[in-house]
Structure 1
């Protein structure tokens, strides 16, 4: 089969990759369609697991909301490796969809939330102290299968053990992290970076309010509802984000976007919660000009 390129067939076509639960994309992602059309670029939603899609027909394939991949990560990564002109690239997808990358970033000197890992089949007992912890799988999206536990509460301790056992039985690695109480007041800050002429450039930031109210009871949901507000990034947050992006394997020149999620640590300094390079919400509806900046980033990748 011959690949068709924009130089030989009129308007460039871009696939915005989604999942069956969001066939018309997440509402925030739809905001880029107009700015892309204004640039003469046709954008179409496409499900990542739709066998009828011919990915070679697109000049660029942009991962946006394939948020159902967590229970099929191997399948998702294998699919990504078959897609031409995918952004972010397949090797980034393979690295970033398993949150054990946090251990690599921590070893490289990036301040991260302290994390321990419980492998499938490994026994786990809640720490003896009475603080709060967060449990979540190493492969997840949208805060799926994530819970908050108060270890001073005997019932919470039992539910925490059950949570780890549930993930272990499913063959999933569990992350154990302290709950950082600053999220209840300062919230979580997401810094959004988009491709520009000189590589990734800071676009905007948002504040996410606290989402975890208690234990996870195993109820399936695509993502947890979030309270989002615009926020100005501080120099310290931007510095932490720069340190994080500086150690991304393969560098950041290939990336279309990146999202760096930070929370104040116990000393008040920002620590990394997650580095989102696969399918992050970009919150382009919360910053003036952000839809146009995303369209410009996509156009820049089309021109490469």
Structure 2
């Protein structure tokens, strides 16, 4: 019987409720699926046939420890998915620069390395932006993320200096389209599965449900699916041909493109994304089949 460890966080020892249909699908297919806390040093990872990274939602607060864990579980020799190299690459948001170099349309971004002396007013002047968003390069759930208007740049400079003194930082143009909704398109083994649109609470820009955002299942156009698939293809090329087992492509629609529809990437989530199994009764089975086909 195939044994699978589903890596999770200490405060989510039983995974998140949304993963229930996926876990059931694995067990229905004869696999044992065991939630295991990634940071539990007593775990013998080589007891499992595979380790699937799921709700390790605290990894960004312990980035060095998480990076070391990825190396350790890789050395233990079970199959790790997504692949360890992909996990290490995706945990630091400077990966967006790699995808931009491969032709992916990403938000205009300044990549600020830790300790760099950067003045927010200078960015506004150089880029001609009216608003920007600052976020750490290793983060999740809008952690230490702030929206700043041009008129507030000087006042926000001390906060920005403190953030950039401790970590790499992204400074991005504020995406007006985020208020209309952020698409999350889910792919399993390179194939489109399903999608949702996340919308922020009125007056906010953060789409996470913890910050008042909402989620609704919606059907993307064929063109939008094609654009998102191109992101997954770019990831695959960047990772030397390794197709991610699961990928969530987050972005916004914009006007433009040959058919009048464009897609601008915000993030591609390859570590611990919520996969919104709850909006598609068959999605858990699709991921279970894709996983077991690799083992």
- TM category (shorter chain) comes to 0.7 to 0.9
Q: Where does residue 95 of structure 1 map in the other structure?
A: 89
Q: Aligned pair 1:37/2:27, yes or no?
A: yes
Unaligned runs of 5+ in 1: 1-10
User: Residues 39-188 of structure 1 correspond to what in structure 2 (within 5 A)?
Assistant: 39-83=29-73, 84-126=78-120, 127-128=124-125, 131-152=130-151, 154=152, 157-159=154-156, 161-169=157-165, 171-185=166-180, 187-188=181-182
Deviation at 1:158, TM superposition (A): 1.7
The structure-2 alpha-carbon separation of the partners of 1:25 and 1:256, relative to structure 1 and needing over 3 Å to count, comes to: same
Stretches of structure 2 that go unaligned for 5 or more consecutive residues are none
* Cα RMSD after superposing both structures: 2.4
Structure 1 segments, 4+ long, off by >6 Å, are: none
Does structure 2 retain, via aligned residues, the 8 Å contact 1:245–1:252?
A: no
Structure 1 length normalisation: TM-score?
A: 0.84
Number of matched pairs: 279
- Give the structure with the larger helix fraction: 2
Structure 1 CA distance, aligned partners of 2:241 and 2:272? 16
Q: Distance in 2 between the 1:226 and 1:59 partners?
A: 37
Q: For residues 131-280 of structure 1, what are the structure 2 equivalents within 5 Å?
A: 131-152=130-151, 154=152, 157-159=154-156, 161-169=157-165, 171-185=166-180, 187-195=181-189, 200-210=190-200, 224=211, 226-248=213-235, 249-251=238-240, 253-265=242-254, 267=256, 269-280=262-273
- What SS does the corresponding residue of 2:294 show, helix, strand or coil? helix
Task: Tell me the TM-score normalised to structure 2 length.
Answer: 0.86
